């Protein structure tokens, strides 16, 4: 489906990356080696707002972020929490500089994030669904919070 | 009590920088041992981060010449009230054990010990998702923004409400806290119990008098309900306030105690008045704080309100409403600090009562003692209200520019945050403050 949309976009002369980032469904993913099979929305919020630290097997979870300013990252947090980049930064400043917890580990690129997901069974990340491959497992489709 | 007239604070900054660099260098020396067990896919075991504010304030008042952001400052200049640099090092020692050190380079009351300029230094043990125990120097977590009062990027204003936060007696606390965490629906709950003691250098702006304020036997309970968009917090704290190492206050207290003992059999009313003045010095007394706060950040509206009482002494409250319009967040901020007890007055009537007993010279000395005690007791009073408007402009996710204008009405007997111009006639007065600040984090 996504490939077809990309093809239509290319044929229409539209910038593919912008189209994909603006429209593509975002999903929470782990590597196939992870013990996580699914997540509730509340758990997803917990992992990416520093309120949930451990995986069901007791190991420390490693939530991963894309770089600051990355459009997928901005969209992910807007969908998950309703907050934009400055508000998320203020939120993390309150938590980090009050000694409570640290924000997710920032990866250099989507490729680096995918690599970490494949290699580390404790990593949790988010990606456009179009970038999935058979070594990643979808936990949750990230949609806008209901009012 | 020591006088700190005309002493400027700058030399202390170099010492703070040196101490922080030393502490962080010591921490970094143990990094390789931890790094050896890391893989490229693990988060770093050590994390260095920080925040800063470059701020300037301009005061317009016919009565006042200086104001302070809080009582840990003494007559700061326009650049010193809000400018600061915070540096933090977090270390992950094991899956359940971590360490945090944070120092803040900012204006302090001169002669503030170096050890009191480190705001955080603790070990945290997290045995499970449900429990967290911290040992070392932490924040008392008394108000909504108590833990991040220095972190400008974390709030919309140039500074948290002066009426509410300027008198916060605890900057940091040495001790232990235990937190129980649980979730219910989309909300996270935290119940934190804290035990410890605190020491903070405090100053009265006009007199320049400073004292080492100590709180012993701190016992606090904080209940917080939190979602990313809504926080509600309630705190109760009890402690023993101790100013006994302020020699000036000790001398006044001893003098009043002697007067109390001498006059009790023959002038019980006067003895009681002397006792009240002695208690007002706050040399060694119990204090209890109660506070409630809420912060709502939803649909581009940001509403924050807090109420607090120092039981038997003061009431403080503020309300802020902001509305996010793209990168701009205009806001209004209204605050009030109100004292329940009237100010202490010099006991001029003692002269006539004491003169027949001890002679006019000694009676005059007793009146002088009472007047000095009344003056000292009134030094720390904050009674004022303000209305501010401003705007925060988010230049980037981690950089914001803020402009704020405050109109402040100060009562004559509650001006601990203000240093007066010569010839001030001891009446209520008004002040306007313009503030500009650039806040960032890294």
Least confident piece of the model among B142-156, B193-207, B427-441: B193-207
Cα separation of A54 and A122, whole Å?
A: 9
Cα separation of B2 and B204, whole Å?
A: 12
Of B185, B180, B191, B184, residue with least CA distance to B224? B191
Interface mutation vs chain A, best among B39, B40, B43, most A CBs within 10 Å: B43
pLDDT at site A118 = 94
Helix (H, G, I), strand (E, B) or coil at B413: strand
Residues 24-43 on B with a CB inside 8 Å of A are 39, 41-43
pLDDT at site B276 = 84
pLDDT at site B308 = 95
Residue in B closest to A59 by C-alpha: B95
Chain A contact for B297, CB < 8 A?
Answer: yes
Cβ separation B186–A45 shorter than 8 A: yes
pLDDT tens, B352-385?
888 888 888 888 988 899 988 888 878 778 899 9
Cα separation of A49 and A32, whole Å?
A: 24
CB-nearest partner of B397 from A46, A59, A85 = A85
Q: How confident is the model at residue B168 (pLDDT cuts 50, 70, 90)?
A: low
Q: How confident is the model at residue B22 (pLDDT cuts 50, 70, 90)?
A: low
Residue in B closest to A74 by C-alpha: B397
Q: How confident is the model at residue B209 (pLDDT cuts 50, 70, 90)?
A: confident
pLDDT at site A7 = 40
Chain A contact for B194, CB < 8 A?
Answer: no
What stretches in chain A show pLDDT beneath 50?
Answer: 1-22, 147
Q: How confident is the model at residue B422 (pLDDT cuts 50, 70, 90)?
A: confident
pLDDT at site B32 = 42
Asked if residue B231 has pLDDT above 70, the reply is yes
Quote the tokens at residue B93.
């020692």
ipTM of predicted assembly, 2 dp: 0.80
Q: How far is A87 from chain B (nearest CA, A)?
A: 8
Torsion of CA A82, A87, A93, A94, to 10 degrees: -70
B414-to-B143, B291, B350 alpha-carbon distances in Å: 22, 21, 25
Average confidence score pLDDT of chain B = 85
Task: Tokens 């010449």: give the residue.
Answer: B65
Asked if residue B17 has pLDDT above 60, the reply is no
Chain A contact for B172, CB < 8 A?
Answer: no
CB-nearest partner of A99 from B122, B228, B396 = B122
Q: What percent of chain B has pLDDT over 90?
A: 48
Q: How confident is the model at residue B1 (pLDDT cuts 50, 70, 90)?
A: very low
pLDDT tens, B303-327?
999 999 988 788 999 999 999 999 9
Of B130, B185, B211, residue with least CA distance to A45? B185
B197 domain residue, yes or no: yes
B184 domain residue, yes or no: yes
Overall average pLDDT of the B178-186 stretch? 88
CATH of the domain at B330: 2.40.160.10
pLDDT at site B353 = 87
Torsion of CA A137, A139, A144, A146, to 10 degrees: 160
pLDDT at site B378 = 80
A51: CB partners within 8 A, 6+ apart:
A45, B181, B183, B188, B226
B432-to-A1, A90, B385 alpha-carbon distances in Å: 62, 28, 12
Q: Find the domain containing B158 and state its range.
A: 13-30+47-246+283-343+378-441
pLDDT tens, B111-151?
788 888 888 999 999 998 899 999 999 987 889 999 999 99
Protein fold of A2-142: D-Maltodextrin-Binding Protein; domain 2 (3.40.190)
Give the residue with greater pLDDT, B38 vs B224.
B224
Cα separation of B333 and B354, whole Å?
A: 51
Q: What percent of chain B has pLDDT over 70?
A: 89
Quote the tokens at residue B367.
């009146």
pLDDT at site B3 = 34
Which residues in chain B touch residue A86, judged by CB atoms under 8 angstroms apart?
A: 327, 394, 396-397, 400
Which residues in chain B touch residue A81, judged by CB atoms under 8 angstroms apart?
A: 228-229
User: What is the rounded end-to-end Cα distance, in angstroms, of chain A?
Assistant: 29
Quote the tokens at residue B204.
């009265």
Quote the tokens at residue A84.
């934009």
Q: What residues form DSSP beta bridges with B125?
A: B97, B133
What are the residue ranges spanned by the domains of chain A? Answer: 2-142
Domain count, chain B: 1
Of B410, B409, B413, residue with least CA distance to B375? B413
pLDDT at site B169 = 62
pLDDT at site B374 = 85
pLDDT at site B9 = 34
Q: DSSP labels for B87-139?
A: EEEEEEEETTEEEEEEEEEE---TT--GGGGEEEEEEEEEEETTEEEEEEEE-
Of B382, B428, B397, residue with least CA distance to B203? B382
pLDDT at site B42 = 65
A95-to-A53, B124, B146 alpha-carbon distances in Å: 14, 14, 12
B299 φψ region: left (φ > 0), alpha (ψ -120 to 50), beta (else): left
Phi, psi dihedrals of residue B354, rounded to the nearest 5°: -90, -25
Whether B70 and B166 have beta carbons less than 8 Å apart is answered as yes
Asked if residue B192 has pLDDT above 90, the reply is yes
pLDDT at site B134 = 96
pLDDT at site B4 = 32
Asked if residue B433 has pLDDT above 80, the reply is yes
Cβ separation B126–A62 shorter than 8 A: no
């Amino acid at each position: 489906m996504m490939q077809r949309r990309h093809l239509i976009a290319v044929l229409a002369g539209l910038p593919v990356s912008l189209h994909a980032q603006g429209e593509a469904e975002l999903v929470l993913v782990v590597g196939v080696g992870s013990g996580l099979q699914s997540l509730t929305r509340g758990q997803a919020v917990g992992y990416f707002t520093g309120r949930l630290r451990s995986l069901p097997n007791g190991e420390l979870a490693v939530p991963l972020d894309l770089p600051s300013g990355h459009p997928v990252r901005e969209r992910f947090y807007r969908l998950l929490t309703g907050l934009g980049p400055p508000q998320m930064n203020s939120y993390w400043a309150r938590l980090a500089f009050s000694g409570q917890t640290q924000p997710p580990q920032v990866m250099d690129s989507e490729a680096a994030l995918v690599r970490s997901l494949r290699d580390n069974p404790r990593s949790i990340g988010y990606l456009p669904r179009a970038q999935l491959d058979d070594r990643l497992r979808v936990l949750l489709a990230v949609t806008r919070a209901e009012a | 009590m020591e006088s700190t007239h005309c002493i400027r604070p700058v030399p202390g900054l170099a010492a703070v920088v040196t101490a922080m660099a030393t502490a962080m260098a010591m921490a970094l020396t143990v990094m390789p041992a931890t790094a050896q067990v890391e893989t490229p896919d693990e988060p770093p075991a050590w994390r260095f981060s920080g925040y800063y504010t470059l701020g300037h304030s301009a005061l317009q008042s016919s009565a006042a010449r200086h104001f302070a952001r809080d009582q840990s400052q003494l007559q700061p200049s326009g650049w010193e009230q809000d400018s600061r640099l915070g540096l933090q090092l977090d270390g992950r020692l094991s899956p359940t054990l971590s360490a945090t050190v944070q120092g803040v380079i900012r204006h302090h009351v001169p002669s503030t010990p170096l050890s009191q300029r480190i705001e955080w230094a603790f070990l945290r043990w997290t045995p499970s998702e449900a429990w967290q125990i911290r040992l070392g120097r932490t924040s008392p977590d008394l108000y909504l923004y108590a833990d991040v009062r220095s972190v400008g990027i974390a709030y919309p204003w140039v500074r948290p409400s002066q009426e509410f936060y300027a008198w916060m007696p605890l900057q940091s606390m040495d001790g232990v806290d235990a937190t129980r965490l649980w979730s219910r629906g989309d909300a996270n709950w935290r119940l934190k119990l804290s035990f410890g003691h605190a020491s903070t250098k405090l100053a009265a702006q006009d007199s320049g008098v400073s004292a080492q304020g100590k709180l012993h036997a701190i016992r606090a309970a904080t209940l917080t309900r939190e979602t990313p968009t809504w926080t509600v917090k309630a705190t109760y704290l009890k402690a023993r306030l101790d100013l006994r190492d302020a020699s000036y206050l000790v001398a006044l207290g001893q003098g009043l105690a002697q007067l109390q003992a001498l006059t009790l059999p023959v002038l019980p009313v006067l003895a009681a008045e002397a006792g009240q003045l002695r208690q007002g010095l706050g040399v060694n007394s119990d204090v209890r704080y109660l506070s409630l706060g809420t912060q709502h950040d939803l649909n581009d509206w940001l509403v924050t309100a807090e109420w607090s009482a120092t039981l038997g002494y003061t009431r403080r409250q503020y309300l802020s409403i902001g509305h996010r319009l793209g990168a701009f967040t205009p806001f209004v901020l209204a605050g009030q600090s109100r004292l329940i007890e009237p100010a202490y007055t010099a006991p001029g009537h003692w002269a006539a009562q004491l003169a027949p007993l001890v002679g006019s010279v000694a009676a005059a000395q007793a009146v002088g003692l009472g007047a000095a005690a009344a003056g000292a007791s009134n030094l720390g009073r904050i009674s004022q209200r303000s209305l501010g408007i401003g705007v925060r402009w988010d230049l980037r996710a981690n950089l914001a520019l803020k402009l704020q204008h405050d109109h402040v009405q100060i009562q004559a007997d509650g001006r601990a945050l203000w240093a007066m111009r010569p010839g001030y006639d001891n009446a209520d007065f008004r002040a306007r403050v313009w503030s500009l600040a650039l806040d960032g984090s890294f």
